[in-house]
Amino acid sequence: QVQLVESGGGLVQRGGSLTLSCAASGRIFSSYAMAWFRQAPGKEREFVAGISWNGGDTDFADSVKGRFTISRDNAKTTVYLQMNSLKTEDTAVYYCAVTNAIGVVTSLNQDYWGQGTQVTVSS
> What are the pLDDT tens digits along the chain (123 aa)?
899 999 999 999 999 999 999 999 998 877 899 999 999 999 999 999 999 999 999 999 999 999 999 999 999 999 999 999 999 999 999 999 999 999 999 999 999 999 999 999 999
Judge contact between 3 and 113, C-beta under 8 A.
no
Q: What is the pLDDT of residue 86?
A: 98
Give me the amino acid identity at 23: A
Q: Is 90 helix (H, G, I), strand (E, B) or coil?
A: helix
Q: What is the pLDDT of residue 56?
A: 95
Q: List, edge to edge, every strand of the sheet that includes 2-7.
A: 2-7, 18-26, 78-83, 68-73
